[in-house]
Amino acid sequence: MINSPFVRKPASVQQVMLQVLLALVPGIAAYVWFFGAGILVQIALASAAALAGEAAMLAIRGKPKALFLGDLSAIVTAWLIALTFPPIVPWWLTVTATLLAIVVVKQLYGGLGQNPFNPAMAAFCLMIVAYPALMSQWPAAGQLDFSSQLQLIFGGARQVDAITGATPLDALRTALRAATNPDSQLHGLRASQLMDGPAYGMLGGKGGEWVALGFLLGGLWLLQRRIITWHIPGAFCLALAASAGLLWAIRPEGFASPVFHLASGGAMLGAFFILTDPVSGATTLRGKLLFAAGAGVLTFVIRAFGAYPDGVAFATLLMNLCVPLIDMNTQAPVFGHKKD
């Protein structure tokens, strides 16, 4: 029997997810423009794997398939996986990662809405730990045409080291570390000098900065549509920029500028699409600020001092861990119990 309220606002999970997917389109367009259409293959692979994995789990668990596949949440996870992985990873890596994300990190916890960790980021972390080499090979913008990308994705033997390198973020960090080593030929060079190469582009790496801009645009649209609030992207960008800026101000020769940090790697994607995942993120307003600020600082720390090329995924996962405690301790005072 239905009880009050008898009227409802026309809103649905499916609509929310659909808008998130739409918001990803500008970034994907920039990605294709600069790095080739290989990413579209990856997206297709991941989506197919996600739907298959979700359908299988739903079938095993006896849940209605059409309803839950139609909510599009698996597709969002799949797209995020494809967009955070290097575009030329072999197909089995994408597929395995997506299946792990959907089956283990999402469905084993009960499916939509119940997973404490962001499935896409958990998959990323798993893969970068398991296959560090494959997960660190990024083509430079315009370096590979579509057919060679396809060959890399589906082909067998890979001799990619010759043609691809690390992301600008990773490369810069390696270079900065080398610069402190007296034996290196880069010894004594400052960050600004190291970043003089064409691969670094204007802000955060050639091509990559435009992709980031695309994600920023999509994110702003989500903000305008009120799918997300400003708290998480705002606090994340601010914390990342502040922590990067602090060290940059102290030792400009040893650290990259905050703008570089914001414009490179997964910062924009993370700020607007990954950390804003409501299921695994904090939900109170103060909690969101804390959650995103923590992720920002951790991202910088892992990027600057850690062993992995980008810190967004680990930072997200680490902050996911803290979410229950953050939420518990940042509950806003309820009506009549405010101190004002």
CB of 34 or CB of 314, closer to another protein:
314
- Which of the residues 231 through 290 are near another protein (CB under 8 A)? 278-279, 281, 283-284
206's torsion region: left (phi>0), alpha (psi -120 to 50) or beta?
A: beta
Stretch that binds another protein, among 107-115, 162-170, 186-194, 262-270 (CB under 8 A): 107-115
Q: Does 22 bind another protein (CB under 8 A)?
A: no
Q: How many other CB atoms sit within 10 Å of the CB of residue 285?
A: 12
Distance, CA of 262 to CA of 234 (rounded, Å): 12
Distance, CA of 210 to CA of 55 (rounded, Å): 35
**SS3 of 149, please?**
helix
Distance, CA of 94 to CA of 91 (rounded, Å): 5
Which of residues 88, 99, 120, 125 is near another protein by CB under 8 A? 125
Q: Does 170 bind another protein (CB under 8 A)?
A: no
Query: How many residues form the binding site for another protein (CB under 8 A)?
Result: 74
- Which of the residues 175 through 234 are near another protein (CB under 8 A)? none
- Determine contact, residues 42/94, Cβ cutoff 8 Å: yes
Q: Write down the least CB distance from residue 314 to another protein, Å.
A: 3
Which of residues 157, 162, 250, 307 is near another protein by CB under 8 A? 307
Stretch that binds another protein, among 56-64, 145-153, 196-204, 261-269 (CB under 8 A): 56-64
Q: Does 320 bind another protein (CB under 8 A)?
A: yes
Compute the radius of gyration of the chain from its Cα atoms: 21
Q: Write down the least CB distance from residue 143 to another protein, Å.
A: 28
Q: Does 151 bind another protein (CB under 8 A)?
A: no
Q: How far is CA 65 from CA 43, 44, 69, 103, in A?
A: 22, 20, 6, 15
Q: Does 107 bind another protein (CB under 8 A)?
A: yes
